[in-house]
Structure formats: structure tokens, C-alpha cells
């Protein structure tokens, strides 16, 4: 397991990195393989924000927490990941996931007359059902998820509606 630690508006101390790595070792023992763990420490308006994400096996786990203390934020983010693991453990054991979705990129403001693509994201699609796509979307805490449905032989999108239910977009060519 390789831990990538970054700081935004703060300097990450060796003690903080050591604390995170010690906690992560206990958490990641449940998986056969764990990819690179990315951790971003931010300080915004006296809030200490921790974002942790990593692929474990073939799923993506992600958590973000904000408190007045960086150590407390780490603990809460890792607790959130533990709850995700516990919640989906039986479901994940029955299914195979290998769709690593990337976080939605931030969009910079662009003049109205100029549309510019500032970032491209690529990821491999693995066949899965709509239910499996919803589980994966919830694991990475996103509002939508793109997946390949082998039954429909199509790339589809599931999304979370404002009422808490889910929607499905099935594109068709004219």
C-alpha cells in the first residue's frame, strides 16, 4: 500500500502522515489488494478537511470529513470508510467490481462565447447491472455513475435524484 499525502493551505507534518498510515494499515487488512491511498489535507476558514480515497480490491472507497482538528477529521473519515465497508461487505463479496470512476473535475469559469474542455478523464468500463452501478456510485459518494450494461449492450448512466431515489439514462442514437 502506497500512501500519497497532499496538503492544500497547510503543511502536512510527518506525525500527521504517520498517524494516518498507522490507522490505514488496520483498515486495509480486510482486503487482498489495496491500490494507492490518496489523502488530501485542507484548511479552509479554520476547518480542517480530510479527503481519503483508495481502490480496495476492485471497488473505490472515499470519505471526506471536516472538523476543527485534523486528527479528528482523519478519525471521522476512516470511520466513514469502515461503515461503507461494513454496509457493502456482503454485497461486494457476491459481485465483482472493477470500474474505477474518477472524481468529477472542478470546472473553471469560462467566457460565455468560449467553451473549453480543461480536463479529460478516462476509465475502463466493466459490465455490471444498474443495481451494481448504484452500489458503486454510493461507495464513491457521487451523484451519477457511468457503466456498461451487457443486457442492453449499451453504456448507461445512473444518477441520484433530489428526492433520494435513482434515475437511469439509456442513450439512443438517432
Q: Biggest alpha carbon distance in the chain? A: 58
Report the alpha-carbon distance of residue 112 to residue 20 in Å, rounded: 43
The per-residue pLDDT for range 93-133, each reduced to its tens digit, is 555 443 333 445 555 555 555 677 778 888 788 899 999 99
Q: Round to whole Å and give the CA distance between 108 and 118.
A: 8
Per-residue pLDDT tens, the chain, 174 aa: give them.
Answer: 788 899 988 888 899 999 998 988 887 777 777 788 899 999 998 899 999 988 876 678 889 999 999 999 999 999 998 888 777 666 655 554 433 334 455 555 555 556 777 788 887 888 999 999 999 888 888 899 999 999 888 999 999 998 989 999 999 888
Q: In what order do the strands lie in the sheet with 3-8?
A: 3-8, 37-44, 47-56, 59-67
- Per-residue buried b or exposed e for 122-147, using 16+ beta carbons within 10 Å of the residue's own CB: eeeebebebebbbbbbebbebeebbb
Amino acid at each position: 500500500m502506497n500512501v500519497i499525502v497532499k496538503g492544500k493551505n497547510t503543511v502536512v507534518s510527518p506525525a500527521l502522515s504517520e498517524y494516518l498510515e498507522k490507522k490505514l494499515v488496520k483498515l486495509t487488512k480486510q482486503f487482498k489488494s489495496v491500490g494507492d491511498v490518496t489523502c488530501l489535507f485542507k484548511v479552509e476558514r479554520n476547518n480542517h478537511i480530510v479527503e481519503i480515497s483508495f481502490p480496495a480490491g476492485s471497488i473505490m472507497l472515499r470519505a471526506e470529513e471536516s472538523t476543527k482538528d485534523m486528527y479528528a477529521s482523519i478519525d471521522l473519515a476512516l470511520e466513514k470508510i469502515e461503515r461503507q465497508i461494513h454496509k457493502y461487505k456482503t454485497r461486494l463479496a457476491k459481485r465483482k467490481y472493477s470500474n474505477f470512476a474518477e472524481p468529477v473535475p472542478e470546472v473553471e469559469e469560462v467566457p460565455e462565447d468560449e467553451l473549453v474542455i480543461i480536463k479529460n478523464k478516462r476509465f475502463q468500463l466493466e459490465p455490471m447491472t444498474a443495481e451494481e452501478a448504484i452500489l458503486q456510485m454510493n461507495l464513491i459518494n457521487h451523484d451519477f455513475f457511468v457503466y456498461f450494461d451487457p443486457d442492453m449492450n449499451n453504456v448507461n448512466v445512473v444518477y441520484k435524484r433530489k428526492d433520494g431515489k435513482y434515475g437511469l439514462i439509456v442513450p439512443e442514437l438517432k
